[in-house]
Amino acid sequence: MKTRIALLCAALLYAGPAFSQLGLNCGEHPGILRNKSGIVWFTSEQLEKMALKRVEPEMPPAPADFHYDGYVSFRILVDKKGGIGCIWAKNGHPMFIEAVNEALQYWEFKPIQVNGKPVEFVGVIQFHVHAN
């Protein structure tokens, strides 16, 4: 199973622009979005609702004259048991990416089934960051 997850991670990592198009023009399937290759995809809002365990990031101290109000986004692959299989930084301020990545590794999600079988799924999760 680890080999299968590793292969899927590698395929998603090297898919580049194709992966960034996941979720666009997808058909619906009982509340689940799929891309043309059949990968189950969830929006950030859906992932938030499915999270069973959340760990808030411990943000590094920002310099006194530094101001930032934005998001750090990550692509994630959730394994069949609801654990994080792979994480890719998508965008956000470099100062906060490592802290958010560290926290996200401990998140757990409600496993899902398609046609009675557990499946892996992907999505993008966003963290709001506000630093003064």
The tens digit of pLDDT for each residue in 7-31 reads: 444 444 444 433 333 333 333 333 4
- What is the rounded distance in angstroms from the CA atom of residue 54 to the CA atom of residue 116? 26
pLDDT for 50-85, tens place per residue?
999 999 898 888 888 888 899 999 888 899 999 998
Domain boundaries, position 43: 2-131
Distance CA 73, CA 100 (A): 9
- Number of domains forming the structure of the chain: 1
> How many C-beta atoms surround the C-beta of residue 35 within 10 A?
18
What per-residue confidence (pLDDT) applies to 38?
A: 65
The helix/strand/coil state of 35 is coil
Beta bridge partners of 53: 108
Identify the CATH number of the domain in which residue 48 sits. 3.30.2420.10
Token digits of residue 106: 């401990």
- Strand ranges (DSSP E) for the chain? 27-29, 32-34, 40-42, 51-53, 68-78, 84-91, 108-109, 112-114, 117-119, 121-131
pLDDT at position 26: 32
Query: What is the reported pTM?
Result: 0.68
